Structures are given as C-alpha cells and as structure tokens.
Structure 1
Amino acid sequence: MTVLPETRRYAVLGTGALGGFYGAKLQQAGFTVHFLLHSDYDHVRQQGLWVESCWGDFHLPQVNAYAAVEDMPPCEGVIVALKATQNHLLPQLLPPVLAEKGVVILLQNGLGAEPEIANCVGPERIMGGLCFISSNKVGPGHIRHLDYGSVLLAEYGPGYAPQGITPRLQQVQADFQRAGIPTSLSPDLMLARWQKLVWNIPFNGLSVIFNADTQQMIRDSEARTLAETLMHEVIQGAAACGRHLPET
C-alpha cells in the first residue's frame, strides 16, 4: 500500500452538508480542493461557499467548482460524500478524478459500500470514514454546522480484513487535523462501522417513526426499550461478522 505524495490535492464528490463542510475546511487551511456540484454549480462558481459553524463562520469567495468530473484534475484524495443512493454513479465519477497513487475516502454511514467501490478502483485504494457531525445544507453553497465534527478513518481491505494503521492513514489524518478537523484512526474498518451502527440503526429509523428527537425517545420508557432492543440486535449482527462489541 503506497503512501500519498507530499503535495496532495483533494476532490469532493458531493458538496453538501458533509462534503461541503469538510472540503471547505481543507481549503481554508490552504489545501487545493476541487468540488463537484450539481444544482449549486452556477451559484458556487460565482459566489463561493459560505459556512456557518459553531467553530467559527467563514466564507470562501472563490472555489474550484465543476459540473462534470471530466473537467476536474486527478486528485490524490477523493472524498466521496454523496448520499449512498447515488453510489451507482461512482463507477463513472471516480476514474477520471482519482490520481494514479490516489485514495478514495468514503465518508458515508452504513456497511457494504466499500466492496462495490473496490470493483472499479481496486480494494487497495479505499479508506472508509465515519463522520460524527451535526450539519445541514440550508441553501445554495450555504452550510450550517451545528455541533460535533470529528472523523474516524480506517483502511479498507478485501472482506473487511483489518489493515492496521498505515502511513497513508496518518497522512490524511494530519491533513484533516491541520484543517481543524478532529480525526482519529482505527485499525479495523468493519468494527468501526458496526460500532456506529449501534447508534444509527435504532435512532435514525425510530426518529422518523415517532417524529421525535433522540432526547424525547430516551425519556419515553417504551421508545427507550425499543431502541435498546435494536441495539442488542445490531451487536448480534456484528458478532455474526466476527466483531464483538462490549455491552458498554
């Protein structure tokens, strides 16, 4: 597994609540960042990106905005922050923008996206990222970061075999931390994903069913019991994949 070149350019596929925020933070720190946009393209090309953040508001008046990956330069770090429902587009989006020694950084929840991406770029060129952030896109080129913001990164290996902490992971971690993004590393991507699913699977679905936020559900004894039951089912699922999560 190769290390990345010392001079690293980043591409952001999906300039929304996550990709727009993290990409803007990288550019603010001095990195060269190229943003793929869809409906916001004309606005961002002319007006740039505006970030309201609990860490401090800032405006990037000029950004490298593109409507098509064919117009983007090859980049050493390609941040995928699309909704997972758009992952079927990645076989067309990734090859033109991924540099020869580049890496795909998948910032998505869930389990199972990395093997699909490996089919078009190779398993050795993927790392997964888990974002712990409350952020919304509130208008064209306008992101509102409400709370949290840390990222956990891990290398992907075939079958989700643990890959350990690689120099490449440490390089990307250093870049993110230079941009003011708290970033930790895990030697085991599948374990990290299952740990986050213990929270996401119960509360994402139940919040829609109950039309309630997390605090409201925790305060309600029946909703809390249902959430805990779902958490235990997720732990059982992790165990079936060879990942044992402590009760805590």
Structure 2
Amino acid sequence: MEETMNFAIIGTGAVGGYYGGLLCRHGFEVHFLLRGDYVHVQEKGLTIDSKDGSFRLKQVNAYCRASDMPRCDVVIVALKTTANDRLAGILPHVVKPGGVVVALQNGLGVEKTIQEIVPDATVIGGLCFLCSNKIGPGHIHHLDFGSVRLGQYRADGAAAGITPELRQVADAFSAAGISVDLAEDLALARWQKLVWNMAFNGVTVVLNATTDQLMADPSALALVRGIMEEVVAGARACGHPLDENFIEIMIAATKNMVAYRPSMMLDFEAGRELEVEEIYRLPISMAAAAGVAMPRSETIALQLEFLDRRNRG
C-alpha cells in the first residue's frame, strides 16, 4: 500500500492510539476520531511512551464527529466491543467505497457486525499481541510486545487465504514498524487469541491480580491452564483444531511478559462496561452448540457479570 493511502482510527486509546501513532509517525495520512480526548489531542497532539522509543506527534488530524472526517481507504476500528453499537453511525461516513475495515478488537463476531454495516467493504480481523495502556488524555504507554496478526473475514467462516487486500494492509503496517503475521484462517486465529484472553482478562478482574501474580501462584496458574484447556476443546469442537502445545506457548509467553494489567482489568478499575459478551459468552455458546461445555469459563463469566453490574451501579 502506498503512503498516499489514508487511514482512519476509530477509537484512539491504548490500541488505536499506539498503532495509529506509528502509522502517522512513518508518513501515512491518519485521521483520528476521539471523544473525551478531542480538545486535548487537537491542541497538544499524541504522546506515545514506548519501550521501542518514545515520540510525540505535535499535530494530528483530530475529529469529534465522524461526519467531519474524510472517507478513508483503510478504517481501523479499535473501540471496545461494548461500544460497537456506535459503529452504524460512524463507518458509513468514513469508509471509502471499496475500502477496507480492520477490526483490532477482542472476541468473536466483531467482523460480522462490521460487514453488516458496510457490506461493500473488505473486512479484516486483527489480533493484537500488545501490552499498552492509555494513561492520560492523548497519552499512550506501550510496555511490551506490539505485533498484529491479520486475517480476512468470510461470512461463511471458511479460510479466506492471503488476499491482495490483506497484503496491502500488512505492507502498510510493516512500513510503519509494526510486526505483522498473516493468518489464512481468521476464525482459527480468533480462537487462538481467546486461549489467552479468556484465561487472563477475566481472571485478573475476579482475583484482582496482575499477570505476573497469576503466574507465580500454583492455584491461579491451575485455573488459568484449566480455562485454556476448555478453550482449546471448544475450538476443536467448532472445527478449529489447535495444537496441544499452544497452551504451553501462551504460558511461557506470559511468564516472560512484564507485569501486566489486561484491558478488562483496567476497564473494571475505571468503572467501564466489561467485554463479557464477545470474549466469553459467544465462545461459550458456540462451544455448547458443538457439544462442549466450558464450566470454568462459565463461572468466570458469571462472576464478571456480577462484578460489572455492581461496579457500574
């Protein structure tokens, strides 16, 4: 993809702010949609503190209304899935005819939602392996990792393979210094990511513990491993076979990770709605329909729902 192609970032937080900032820093035209941070970012720009080198974008294209944004070749959706009801009022304004929408979101079902809103767009799912937090208005702190796995969506759930659109987006990300891996089968890649997300996002909230604390305690680690085993079984029942050693790969990667508070833990601490539906409920129901129960995951989901309701009043 040539650098004359432009990008829209929908959700300028820990994910969108970081990757959008990198694209902007490396010469791409990037337009950022913001809410509470709009005035700050418009006046003072974006600040990215990163283990790979910090930088500040003094002037960025900032907007508080999608209707004011130009139509873009690539629209990156980095909202929490709990805000996806806003997309119907956003995407038709910013996606260029024949454009691409990249969903950098957790869980299952996000691409289907986007495709229904912009049926003529190419929809790509993105799985972020990133430790990044938003620590203030227009201020992102990148702690560790940073790679993205991209796969093209097909409504029938089949593997789309490596398409030209997928390669174009990957080339742009690579040019911006983002490590990219391409997945021929997006549905399989989504289940692979769930092995980590279902094991750690909710458990950090329920046990009020960071990833390193979970890894250091034998009981917590046994719970994490048990949830991972359920996700692998559910994925296989749904036609997405995961290797036995994938669990050990995820455990090893987490042990080597900096002490981290996942996004769900940060959302809980900030009193924001938790992403229970896409990360837990949909996978659990899909596995159940295929004949596999996920009792540990179900228990975590019930606890999260209770804590979320109480936390938000």
TM-score (norm 2): 0.76
Kept after mapping to 1: 8 A contact 2:236/2:242: yes
1:210-241 deviation digits (Å, cap 9, x = unpaired): 11222322232222222111111111211122
The whole-number CA distance in structure 2 between the counterparts of 1:61 and 1:6 is 20
Shift of 1:76: 0.5
Kept after mapping to 2: 8 A contact 1:12/1:23: yes
Kept after mapping to 1: 8 A contact 2:104/2:125: yes
4+ long deviations beyond 3 Å: 4-7
Whether 1:142 aligns to 2:139 is: yes
Give runs of aligned pairs for residues 212-231 of structure 1, distance below 5 A: 212-231=209-228
Whether 1:201 aligns to 2:198 is: yes
**Would you say how many aligned residue pairs link Structure 1 and Structure 2?**
245
Kept after mapping to 2: 8 A contact 1:76/1:103: yes
1:170-192 deviation digits (Å, cap 9, x = unpaired): 11111111111101100000100
The whole-number CA distance in structure 1 between the counterparts of 2:199 and 2:142 is 24
1:129-170 deviation digits (Å, cap 9, x = unpaired): 000111111111111111111101000001321100011111
Equivalent residue of 2:56, what SS? strand
Say what the alpha-carbon RMSD is for the aligned residues: 1.4
* Residue segments in structure 2 that go unaligned for 5+ positions in a row: 246-313
Whether 1:89 aligns to 2:79 is: no
Aligned pair partner of 2:236 in 213, 216, 239: 239
Kept after mapping to 2: 8 A contact 1:123/1:157: no
Kept after mapping to 2: 8 A contact 1:153/1:185: yes
Partner of 1:19: 16
Quickly say closer, same or farther: Cα 1:48–1:124, change in 2 above 3 A: closer
The whole-number CA distance in structure 2 between the counterparts of 1:146 and 1:218 is 18
The whole-number CA distance in structure 2 between the counterparts of 1:13 and 1:6 is 19
Equivalent residue of 1:245, what SS? coil
Whether 1:62 aligns to 2:59 is: yes
Kept after mapping to 2: 8 A contact 1:5/1:76: no
Q: Quick check: which one's strand share is greater?
A: 1
Kept after mapping to 2: 8 A contact 1:54/1:145: yes
TM-score (norm 1): 0.95
Give runs of aligned pairs for residues 9-158 of structure 1, distance below 5 A: 9-122=6-119, 125-158=122-155
The whole-number CA distance in structure 2 between the counterparts of 1:158 and 1:96 is 23
How much identity, in percent, do the aligned residues show? 53
Shift of 1:6: 7.3
The whole-number CA distance in structure 1 between the counterparts of 2:41 and 2:213 is 37
Moved more, 208-217 or 4-13: 4-13
The whole-number CA distance in structure 2 between the counterparts of 1:123 and 1:233 is 36
